[in-house]
Structure 1
Amino acid sequence: MIIVSEECVRTVLTEEDGFAAVEAVFAAMAHGDAYNFPVIREAIGHADALYGFKSGFDRAGLALGLKSGGYWPGNAQKGIPNHQSTVFLFDPDTGRLSSIVGGNYLTAIRTAASSAVSIKHLARPASRTLGMVGAGHQSHFQVRAAVRQGNFERVVAWNRHPEMLDGLEKTVTGLGLTFERVEPEQLAARADVIITITSCHEPLLMKEWIRPGTHLACMGTDTKGKMEVDPDLVAACAVFTDEIAQSVSIGEAQHAVGKGLLSEAAITPIGDVINGTQAGRVSEDQITLFDGTGVGLQDLAVASAVARKAEEQGLAQQAGL
């Protein structure tokens, strides 16, 4: 068995690794070669924390395991990330524990990779302005991953706490892009691609604000009750997702489906677009939306790649059971 620490994950895991692993596992899911197990996510009644498990098996990549972790909202005041998680990988031939991998940096990379995959396959090639709704820790990963997939020239951004935009501006300008702070309605009117990455329970973007041809990647809604965009907007889009079951139960689509505005049958797995079995964007004016709920297979795929690299480079810690 090997242990790959958070520090080691940061050393060996690249954004390219994360993107390749996530794109491949989405394709495997659509082929029926990989599947997620039901998610467990609960409030523990202490520290306002949410804790749970995401697990699954990728038969194509031979990744079996689970991610254990959650969200501790008070961690920021302690100088540590609010999201805390660890990935456990098992040998699919024997069931023996094979790797323990730090999951915090890994989760940030795989979440950003997911939206980047959607931008590659759904956004208009002519997109030049990226809109960011949210400026927390994850937003920096989102911007860097998005920029790799397009020819963006500028970022327009909004955050409920404006002072947090200072850090995001440094990241954006460091990438050679211009940065502007705007209100949500202005952001929607100017952005070609919009990434939402908040923990809100109310719509921040309304249907009538979004212009034709926009691609939205809604990455913050991963729990029942959360919401980032107007359900009428979701219903007006061509909707794609990582996994339909999670999209309609804990993802951004939960509200539109619950109100009868959108049917489950109208949602397309992004893996089908990657595999070429379903169409992605069909016109320049179409509004597309990717509902990124975050599936366990993403974590397992990226953790497997990390474990292999760490062992090959002699950076993993060997441990007995």
Structure 2
Amino acid sequence: MEFTFLNEETLAATLKMTAVVETIEKVYVAKSQNHSVVWDTIFYDFVPGKADMDIKSGLLESEQIFGHKTVTWFGDNAKLGLPTLTGLICVFDATTGFPVGITTAAYITGMRTGAAAAIGAKYLAEPSVASALIIGAGNQLRFQVAALLTAFPDLTNVAIYDKDRDKVIEAIADLPRQCEIMGVSCATRTFEVVTNLEAAVKANKLIITITPSKEPIIKAEWVSPGTHFSCMGADMSGKQEIDAEIFADALIYTDDLHHAAEVGEMETALKQDIIKLDDVAGEIGELITGAKKPRVKAKVTIFDATGMAIMDLATAKLAIETAKDSDVVTLQI
């Protein structure tokens, strides 16, 4: 019996954002139709705020696969010239139990997280938006931009904010090259360095947050009706990117209600009784299939996504099936 191993370089050469967005949409639909199982996440803090790991696992019946992803984040690795995020995704055949393949996890995590934010915006933001604001200029930025331009081909301007302005400038310089690797052109698009966050929030109706913040970056009084938020940074208890009061009169969707209520952006709003669990409109797959009603034009909309292993597994399977033979390492068991 053989199985495949794909490293970061092979994944970057293989995966294109258009295909990943399509794959993640199918995952959301499968979940909404009860064709998947998402098991509880195992999380451990080695050094709080500096080093942690989590294990996410699940079954995707629609693709006949199951498996798990183990990811570690060691913040001090940057000082050593090492990636801060690393890990492995293990994919198994749900009909035989045999391993299909193993991939490294960082690139796939980036691709599927970018795709998730864009899908949330695709179904909840005003379709005619010409500009967007991304908060956070870390490793995720390139994936967020590539996915956003895939879902919104008429988008002309992307404003980017980070507390480290130099980080934004450096990231913007490399965005055209990075997006091209994912099959996305940045031609005719402009990228703007944000210095006044309040003004940028007021000027943009599509906002993606992708930071590890534990305090709200965006205040409720900055937000105008019709604004959409894809909140991607909160994936463990205590993280928070937007003022909890923004949830008060918003149309809220999530990827996984159980997990988002425990560790997602909505955690604080629930704990402060700003909203109840029943105030959440549903999961994004229900919106994609039409089982739930679309956005109300005047309302703020929020897509609270914490990520699921079934997204990683489906993306890994896509990569395994499309990688060139010359780039694949085949192992015998």
- 1:107 maps to what in 2? 109
- Whether the 8 Å contact between 1:55 and 1:66 is mirrored in structure 2 is yes
- Whether the 8 Å contact between 1:69 and 1:85 is mirrored in structure 2 is yes
Q: Which amino acid aligns with 2:285?
A: G
- Whether the 8 Å contact between 2:249 and 2:299 is mirrored in structure 1 is no
Normalising by structure 1, report the TM-score.
0.95
Name the stretch that deviates more: 79-88 or 194-203.
Answer: 79-88
Q: Which amino acid aligns with 2:143?
A: F
Name the stretch that deviates more: 214-223 or 261-270.
Answer: 261-270
- 1:317 maps to what in 2? 329
Deviation for aligned residue 1:235: 2.6
- Whether the 8 Å contact between 2:18 and 2:150 is mirrored in structure 1 is no
Deviation for aligned residue 1:313: 4.0
Note if 1:305 corresponds to 2:305: no
Q: Could you report, residue by residue, the CA deviation over 1:122-177 in whole angstroms, capped at 9, with x for unpaired residues? A: 11012111111111111121012112222222122221111111123325675432
- Find the partner of 1:281 among 295, 298, 304: 295
DSSP 3-state at the match of 1:198: coil
- Find the partner of 2:304 among 273, 278, 291: 291
**Structure 1: gaps of 5 or more residues:** none
Looking at structure 2, the residues matched to 19 and 171 of structure 1 have their Cα atoms a distance apart, in angstroms, of: 22
Residues 1:98 and 1:148: Cα distance change in structure 2 (over 3 Å): closer
Q: Which amino acid aligns with 1:12?
A: T
- Find the partner of 2:36 among 7, 31, 34: 34
DSSP 3-state at the match of 2:75: coil
Looking at structure 1, the residues matched to 326 and 288 of structure 2 have their Cα atoms a distance apart, in angstroms, of: 34
Q: Which amino acid aligns with 2:157?
A: R
- 1:10 maps to what in 2? 12
Note if 1:183 corresponds to 2:171: no
- Find the partner of 2:228 among 212, 215, 226: 215
Deviation for aligned residue 1:195: 0.6
**Structure 2: gaps of 5 or more residues:** 177-185
- 2:170 maps to what in 1? 167
Looking at structure 2, the residues matched to 183 and 204 of structure 1 have their Cα atoms a distance apart, in angstroms, of: 12
Q: Which amino acid aligns with 1:249?
A: E
DSSP 3-state at the match of 1:85: strand
- Whether the 8 Å contact between 1:240 and 1:289 is mirrored in structure 2 is yes
DSSP 3-state at the match of 1:28: helix
- 1:55 maps to what in 2? 57
- Find the partner of 2:157 among 151, 154, 157: 154
DSSP 3-state at the match of 2:158: strand
Q: Which amino acid aligns with 2:294?
A: G
- Whether the 8 Å contact between 1:157 and 1:187 is mirrored in structure 2 is no
Looking at structure 2, the residues matched to 207 and 133 of structure 1 have their Cα atoms a distance apart, in angstroms, of: 16
Deviation for aligned residue 1:45: 4.1
Note if 1:232 corresponds to 2:245: yes
Looking at structure 2, the residues matched to 175 and 217 of structure 1 have their Cα atoms a distance apart, in angstroms, of: 24
Deviation for aligned residue 1:307: 1.1
Q: Could you report, residue by residue, the CA deviation over 1:235-267 in whole angstroms, capped at 9, with x for unpaired residues? A: 331111110011110100000011111111222
State percent identity of aligned pairs.
27
Name the stretch that deviates more: 220-229 or 127-136.
Answer: 127-136
Deviation for aligned residue 1:182: 3.0
Residues 1:171 and 1:125: Cα distance change in structure 2 (over 3 Å): farther
DSSP 3-state at the match of 1:220: coil
Looking at structure 2, the residues matched to 109 and 240 of structure 1 have their Cα atoms a distance apart, in angstroms, of: 21
* RMSD (Å), alpha carbons: 1.7
How many residues are aligned here?
319
Residues 1:234 and 1:172: Cα distance change in structure 2 (over 3 Å): farther
Q: Could you report, residue by residue, the CA deviation over 1:3-26 in whole angstroms, capped at 9, with x for unpaired residues? A: 112211111111112111111001
- Find the partner of 1:72 among 71, 74, 81: 74
Looking at structure 2, the residues matched to 171 and 209 of structure 1 have their Cα atoms a distance apart, in angstroms, of: 30
Looking at structure 2, the residues matched to 2 and 180 of structure 1 have their Cα atoms a distance apart, in angstroms, of: 41
Looking at structure 2, the residues matched to 78 and 317 of structure 1 have their Cα atoms a distance apart, in angstroms, of: 28
Q: Which amino acid aligns with 1:232?
A: E
Normalising by structure 2, report the TM-score.
0.91
- Whether the 8 Å contact between 1:108 and 1:138 is mirrored in structure 2 is yes
Q: Which amino acid aligns with 2:25?
A: E
Looking at structure 1, the residues matched to 45 and 187 of structure 2 have their Cα atoms a distance apart, in angstroms, of: 38
